[in-house]
Amino acid sequence: MKVALILSGCGNRDGSELQETLSLMLALDRRNWHYQCFAPQGSFRVVSHVDGKEEGQRDIFEEAARIARGNILPIEQFNVSDYDVLALPGGMGAARNLSTFAFDGANMTVRPDVERAILDTYHAHKPIMAMCIAPMVLAKVLGPFGVTLTLGQPCQASQVAEQLGAKHHCCQPTEYCADRQHRVYTTPAYMVGTRISEIFAGAENMVAALEADLG
């Protein structure tokens, strides 16, 4: 299996959440599934992980490369025919850099290159996974198709997801939501979780469900 991971920077407040991303990578690697990291290029507003203040700008691609240990490709190079699964780890980068949910709420937009990757995968009838707040990106792109996903428990984000046409399924951090009709698999991670062990269990259970469904 070949999985394309779309990263959004490095760090839970302004990029990809490291513990979620690494939990997903480990769940894939334990099955000998190959993953390739992708990220958009362009600047984003950096948020301090100490005091929450914005502190200048950095490049999404450069920051995401830190997680990928340099093995990363620009999102423009994603070709759906080369991969079996698309995955979006969580972190506020999904809401700030891949989309504008953090700033615009229900009026959010999704980067065209990320939207293309999602729609190409969806129309190719290939599975898509997402964690934490990243399902909001799927809600915006796939909501019109009536996709079911999880953001944990009822919250502002889940209300917006439903406004966008998605259906919300409540989950605990170790659980997952499998929309087998649309081939979308999501887990809430740190939307409701508090421990890294819960985050890994959620990622592991989500990937295991997908593995079972693929036979």
Residues designated catalytic: 132
- Phi/psi for 62 (5° steps) reads -60, -40
Spell out the long-range contacts of 168-177 with Cβ–Cβ below 8 A and sequence spacing 24 or more: 173/198, 173/199, 173/201, 173/202, 174/198, 174/201, 174/202, 174/205, 175/150, 175/202, 175/205, 176/150, 176/202, 176/205, 176/206, 176/209, 177/148, 177/149, 177/150
Q: Please count the other Cβ atoms lying within 10 Å of the Cβ belonging to residue 102.
A: 17
In angstroms, the CA 174 to CA 113 distance is 31
In angstroms, the CA 47 to CA 150 distance is 26
Report yes or no: 204 and 24 within 8 Å, Cβ to Cβ: no
Query: Which one-letter DSSP state was computed for residue 192?
Result: T
In angstroms, the CA 158 to CA 151 distance is 6
Query: Which one-letter DSSP state was computed for residue 11?
Result: S
